[in-house]
Each structure stands twice: as structure tokens, then as C-alpha cells.
Structure 1
Amino acid sequence: MTVQTWFVTGASAGIGRAVVEHLLEAGHRVAATARKPEVLDDLKKQHPDLLWTAVLDVTDTAVLREVVARAFAELGRIDVVFSNAGRGAVGAAEELSDAAIDEQIALNMTAPIQLFRAVVPRLRGQGGGRFIQMSTMGAHISGPGAGMYHASKWGVEGFFESVVGEVAPFGIGVTMIEPGVIRTGFGAALSVADPLPVYADTPVGQVHQAVQTLGNLTATAPGDPVKVAAAIIASVDTAPVPRRIALGSDAHTAIRAALTGRLEEVDAGEALARSIDYPAPAGR
């Protein structure tokens, strides 16, 4: 087995924690970061020579750059960067506070972009590596009451879609992970806006009601976080580098339906799209 070194954000719980546990059990080295890395102390005791930890709020760009620099300096080569930190916000556009909107953009979009910018020179300098971005099936679908969450995920995927071609010549592969609903504590970490009465009898009101029992929903979700972690780790050995990986039967079904529906809409407007072109030159 070739020992790898991973850098993981949002490593304290959920899929991030599952990935760290899986890697350590397989004998790999991990630089695990979190706002409260002390929750990883049990793993530190079990794997003192394999686990490196650091306090990191990924929305603090200056600290993020410092932690990245320290991890590469102390660990040497880092083979895989797993950008996992993030959370969701629930509420209609006018229900969400300015702070909630800013947080969604900062945490789910700006932070991964800045992490990527921080690690690319180092990955390039060592001859390559992998960058894995945690996304969601929500980067393809959307719904009332989660507009900012979807916006942040659609936005971050647009960025990584673009940079794939920028860094491929340097041996750096980029993969976006798009899970469905997984049995984690994601629901408990949601930022939920105070509901406005005017939305009570609308789809947004239904979302607010659903969030109240989201813990029960995630407890029976189809996605197994241990299997998700294993699939993420296995993706590193996949060639060519997968640009996107949907995980979960619900994710595959929802993403396929969204893409198919979008293609049908584009095809329905083909005649109009072509009608605005200048006429082809005579004789052609």
C-alpha cells in the first residue's frame, strides 16, 4: 500500500470525520482541521503518529493560508486536499438575515475557492495531487426555502468546473462529490431563518415544518456515511480523474432528472435560439 497524506477541512463530524477515520485505519497520514479539533482527541490517542490537527475556521482566509503553509511545511508532501467544511441555510430569500446570506457565501463558496488558491502552488510544486470538493445533489436541483444554500453550491461548482482545465497540465486533478441525503448530523447544523407568517401556507412553510423533523429524516436517509467516505477515498485512484461523483440513489435520480429536464428546456427553445443569428452569407 502506498501511504498517502490528506488535508481535510470540516473534519470534526459527519462525512469529514468518517473520511479521517477511514484513512487512519488504513494507515494513511491526515492533517485534520476543524473549528474545534479537540473532538478528534480520541483519534489522536489511537493514531498519534498519523494524525496532525489544527484549529481552522475556513472563512478566515489569513488563518487558512497559515494553516495550509504549516501543514505542508511540517508534513512535506500532501497528496489529497479534501475541502469538506460547510453547512446549509433554510429560509425564504426575505426571511434570511444578512449575516446568514454572508455566511453561506463565505463558508460554502469563498472558503473552498481560497483553499484551492492556497494549495495549488504547493501541489504544482510537488508535481501534482488531488483536490476533492464536497458538494451536493443540491448543486443541480433547487427548491423554495433553500435559495442561498443552492446558490452557494451552484456557484462553487461553477468555479471548480472552470479550474479543472487550469490545473490539469500540472498533474492536479479536481473532483466534486455530490451526495444525496446521508445519515449524518447535517440537519442539526442548519442555519434556520425565523419564519414569516406570510409564508406559512406556501412551499416555504412546508420546508420550515420539515426542518423541525429533519433529524428524523437524516436518521433514515438512504446514504451510508461510511460508504460515502470509502467512495471518496477510492476516487483518488480512479483514472481519468472523475470531475463529478454522485453518491446515493436519491442523488443519482435527482441529478439525472434535473439534467434531463434542463436539456428538454434547451431543446424546446432551439428554434428561437437560432432565429437571432445573422443570416448565413449567400452561397454558403
Structure 2
Amino acid sequence: MTKRTWIITGASRGLGRALAEAALAAGGNVVAAVRTPGSVADLADAHPGAFAVIPFDVRDVAAAPALAQAAIDRFGQVDVLVNNAGRAVVGAVEEVGDEQLRDLMGLHLFGPAALVRAVLPGMRARGSGTIVQMSSQGGRMSFPGVSAYSASKFALEGWSEALAGEVAPFGVRVMIVEPSRFRTGFNGAGVLEFAEPSQIYRQALAAVRADMAGTDGRQEGDPARAAEIIVSLVHGEEVPLRLPLGREAVERISGLHRRGLAETTRWAEVARAADFADAPASARPV
């Protein structure tokens, strides 16, 4: 495999750490952008020539150019950016406040967008590079209790789909990864945030809250295997725009498409009636 330099955010645990380990095993260089450098001290000790740790908070968009430059200074270029850092807030729309919603948008959209802008000039100049956006099956569907999380991941996916079309002519690839549940710390106490439950929604969201809190350590997804798949695709000739990762993600997203097509078909004639009767069919460049 060709040696590549990776920037991975949130590399201290879970899928981010598994990706760092898999990229190193494949012979790559890794820049771990983490809030707690000590969390990856063992990787730094084990791979002194190929692993760099940079303290970084994804929400600090002003720091993104410096992170990209530090990776270039250390390893010469950035070949792969993995926007992985993330977390969730569970609560009804009326329970999650503006500050929590803005924080998730900063973590899942504004921060990744700043990092992409920071690495793209070098990728375009070389005519190569891969941007991996770690989304979620919650970036394609939503359900009661996860409105804030899904809103931020929906936003990331829409932004990234447009990005993919813009940078493809320059040889830069974009892959949106949509994992189901993986055995990481994502659902752990102290990581998963719960909005203060209100009497109005306490009973309606009781099952969702219990499910989200009770799955830690029992998730069916293997982070190491997921990381191997992602690294293998990055090293391959082709990457999918979207990669549902894990059996549950494949099944749930497939079902979402089937239901969406059925609903569109059911209401198609009603929807078409909104057009001017004599207007020609639209023609767009994409």
C-alpha cells in the first residue's frame, strides 16, 4: 500500500483510535488531533516516527489551518482527513436548548468544514486526497429523542455531498461513513449527554433513553473491523459516496429508501399538480 499521511480527529478512543491503529498498521503516518494528548501516549511511544499528537478542539475553527500546517511540517503533506470527533445529545426538541444544538453543529459541521478548507488546497494541487466524513445512520434518518444529533449529521451529509461534486474534478474523493452501533465509548456514561427530561416527554422518550444508555458494551459493531474496511477503501481505486457500516445500518437505511420511494409514489400526482401546467420540464447542469 502507498504510504499516506492521515489527520484523524477524535483519535483518543472508539472508531477514531481504531482508525489510527489501522492506518499505522497499513504503513501510514497519523496525526492525531485530540483534546487530551495523554490518551494516545502509547501510540506515540510505539510509533515515534509515524505518529504525531496535536492538542485540538474541533469546535475551534480558527485553529484548523494550524493543524493542517503542523501535519505538513511533520510529514510533508496530508493525504487523508478523517472528521471523526463527535458525540450525541438525547432529548426532545423542547428539552434541548440552543447552546446544546449549536455545540453539536460546531462539532459535527463547522469544525469539519474548517478542516476540509484547510487541507483542500494541498490536495487539489497534488490532484489526490480523500476526505472521510464520519456521519451515522442518524445522518440519514431520525427518530424521537435524537433531533439535535441527527440535525447536525444531516447537515454534515448535505454539505459533504455538495463537496464531493465540487472536488471530484481535482482528483479529491469524499466518503461519508454511516455507522450503526459500534462497541465504542459513544454510549458510555459521561460521554452520551441527556437533556433534562420534562414531564411532558418523560414517558414518550423513556424507551429511547433506556435504549441509548443501556447499549454500552453490547453494540454489535467491531471498531477494529470497521477501521480496516475504511482504511482498505481509502487505499483502493474507488470509494463510495456513502458507506452504511454495520448490518443494522444497511438494513435500516435500505428500509428508509424503500419507505421514502413508496411515499413519493403515493403522493406523486398531488405533488406534480403544484407546477404551472404549461411550464417545460426543468433542466439542470447536475
1:110 aligns with 2:110: yes
| Residue of 179, 195, 198 corresponding to 1:196 | 198
SS in structure 2 of the partner of residue 38 of structure 1: helix
Equivalent positions of 1:71-220 (< 5 A) are 71-188=71-188, 189-202=191-204, 204-213=205-214, 217-220=215-218
Q: Supply the distance in 1 between the matched residues of 2:164 and 2:5 (Cα, whole angstroms).
A: 22
**Pairwise CA distance, 1:266:** 0.9
Kept after mapping to 2: 8 A contact 1:100/1:191: no
Corresponding residue for residue 223 of structure 1: 221
Displacement of 1:211 after TM fit? Answer: 3.5
Q: Residues of 1 paired with 2:67 and 2:116: CA distance?
A: 13
SS of 2:77's equivalent in the other structure is coil
> How far off is 1:130 after superposition?
0.5
Residues 4-33 of structure 1, C-alpha deviation per residue, up to 9 Å, x if partnerless?
111111110000000111222232111111
Q: Which residue of 2 aligns with 1:33?
A: 33
Q: Identify the match of residue 261 of structure 2 among 260, 263, 273.
A: 263
**Structure 2: segments with no counterpart, 5+ residues:** 280-286
Cα drift, residue 280 of structure 1: 3.8
**Aligned match of 1:235 in 233, 236, 239?**
233
Q: Aligned ranges for residues 10-29 of structure 1 at < 5 Å?
A: 10-29=10-29
What does residue 284 of structure 2 align with?
Answer: none
The answer to whether the 8 Å contact 1:130/1:173 transfers is yes
The alpha-carbon distance between structure 1 residues 145 and 114, as it changes in their structure 2 partners (threshold 3 A), is same
Q: Give the SS at the match of 1:222.
A: coil
d(CA) in 2 for partners of 1:135 and 1:212?
Answer: 20
Amino acid corresponding to residue 196 of structure 2 in structure 1: D
* Secondary structure of the corresponding residue to residue 187 of structure 1: coil
Q: CA RMSD in A?
A: 1.4
Q: SS where residue 216 of structure 2 aligns?
A: helix
Q: Deviations over 1:83-116 (max 9, x none)?
A: 1111111111111133211111110111111111
- Whether the aligned pair in 2 keeps the contact of 1:195 and 1:208 (CA below 8 Å) is no
**How far off its partner does 1:278 sit?**
2.4
Aligned with 1:45: secondary structure?
Answer: helix
How many residues of Structure 1 are paired with residues of Structure 2 in the alignment?
277
Secondary structure of 1:197's partner? Answer: coil
Q: More helix by proportion, 1 or 2? A: 1
User: TM-score under structure 2 normalisation?
Assistant: 0.93
AA matched with 1:231: I
Separation (CA, whole Å) in 2 of partners of 1:247 and 1:90: 22
Shift of 1:201: 1.9
Structure 1 distance, partners of 2:100, 2:116, is 23
Query: 8 Å contact 1:32–1:53 — kept in the other structure?
Result: yes
